[in-house]
């Protein structure tokens, strides 16, 4: 269903991503692939759908879930997450004739009896040891195992240099291939740091897939196809008005379609609900990622949303709103917003790509 608001897991429901699908299918045979894209463009849907469509064992580990639970990420939490995902994927492994039980049975702290698997959560599990065992069993099965790390940029907050582990896995675990995704593109690029000669990953070939928002034609086709699938007659002027507000961000278009077809809301209420939902979600993301000087950060984004898109006009606006701000502090704040993906830069001009983030900054007091 095109207007299902949960991440897609079937390739037939993945609309307008034929190029990205073909590219990811080619990339899985390489040791390391990175999928970039701003929030709500469909990275997780692409990942799940493609991995479900190929005959290779895999697990997906969502690092954001671990970060949200504790605010920090400890190595044992990642290890336990991997073990629990292996446990959950038993049926997939049986279909592929790949025994995940063989992996789990080799790990101290796991008991297996009569199809019941118990993981001793008090035990410290070494991540590199788990990956070595996965590689060993995959080699024995003449198979490649795919480890997908969703929202991998949060590993940066762990206090451990996980790019060291990625480099070690790249060099030594020939039967474990890793796919990482990230929506905070600058943070993910800092984490990988492949352009730095001192980075553990420097010099390695890394496949990169960038997910952009839909153009107007694809957005129109997506909404039209979703409404036809739901057997709801919608005029072109409504579709065009929706695209004018929500642009080509797949997540917002999907939520609008969901409101119209599943929740049976009218055009006005559907759009208002998307905007209000977006406002709450964006506020939550801002609160989580920017926990100090929020007034200044918001002032920067308000300036950009209002079309004050160069450095000097942004500084003048922020000064008028929050008082004097030094060049250094302004640069640091702008850099952080760029890294988190809230703003973008092109030819020395700043802009906001997500239309609801922009609308939130314009209507800040709503």
Domain 17-210: which topology?
Rossmann fold (3.40.50)
pTM: 0.87
Q: Is the pLDDT of residue 114 over 80?
A: no
What mean pLDDT is reported for the chain?
A: 90
Residue 100: closest CA among 63, 130, 127? 130
Domain 291-362: which topology?
Arc Repressor Mutant, subunit A (1.10.10)
| CATH tag, 216-286 | 1.10.8.60
Q: Which residues contact 149 (CB under 8 A, 6 or more apart)?
A: 60, 61, 63, 155, 178, 179, 180, 181
Mean pLDDT confidence for 219-247: 97
Q: In the chain, where are the structural domains located?
A: 17-210, 216-286, 291-362
Q: Is the pLDDT of residue 100 over 90?
A: no
Residue 307 pLDDT: 95
Residue 196 pLDDT: 76
């Amino acid at each position: 269903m095109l207007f299902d608001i949960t991440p897609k897991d079937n390739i037939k429901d993945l609309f307008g991503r034929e190029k990205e699908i073909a590219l990811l299918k080619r990339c899985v045979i390489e040791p390391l692939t990175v999928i970039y894209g701003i929030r709500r463009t469909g990275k997780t849907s692409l990942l799940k759908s493609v991995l479900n469509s190929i005959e290779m064992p895999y697990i997906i580990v969502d690092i954001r879930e671990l970060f949200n639970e504790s605010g920090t990420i400890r190595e044992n939490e990642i290890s336990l997450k991997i073990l629990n995902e292996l446990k959950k994927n038993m049926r997939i492994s049986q279909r592929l004739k790949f025994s995940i039980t063989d992996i789990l049975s080799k790990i101290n702290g796991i008991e297996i009896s009569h199809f019941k698997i118990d993981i001793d959560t008090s035990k410290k599990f070494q991540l590199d040891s788990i990956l070595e065992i996965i590689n060993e069993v995959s080699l024995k099965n003449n198979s490649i195992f795919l480890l997908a790390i969703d929202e991998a940029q949060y590993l940066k907050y762990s206090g451990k240099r996980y790019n060291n582990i990625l480099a070690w896995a790249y060099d030594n675990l020939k039967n474990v291939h890793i796919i990482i995704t990230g929506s905070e593109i600058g943070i993910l690029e800092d984490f990988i740091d492949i352009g730095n000669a001192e980075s553990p990953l420097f010099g390695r070939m890394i496949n990169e897939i960038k997910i952009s928002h839909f153009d107007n034609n694809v957005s129109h086709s997506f909404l039209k196809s979703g409404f036809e699938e739901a057997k709801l007659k919608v005029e072109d002027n409504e579709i065009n008005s929706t695209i004018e507000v929500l642009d080509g961000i797949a997540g917002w278009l999907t939520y609008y379609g969901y409101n119209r077809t599943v929740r049976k809301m009218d055009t006005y209420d559907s759009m208002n609900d998307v905007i209000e939902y977006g406002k709450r979600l964006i506020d939550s993301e801002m609160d989580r990622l920017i926990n100090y000087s929020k007034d200044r950060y918001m002032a920067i984004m308000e300036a950009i949303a209002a079309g004050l898109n160069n450095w000097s006009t942004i500084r003048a606006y922020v000064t008028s709103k929050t008082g004097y701000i030094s060049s250094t502090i302004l640069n640091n704040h702008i850099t952080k917003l760029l890294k988190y993906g809230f703003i973008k830069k092109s030819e020395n001009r700043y802009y906001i790509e997500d239309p609801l983030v922009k609308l939130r900054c314009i209507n800040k007091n709503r």
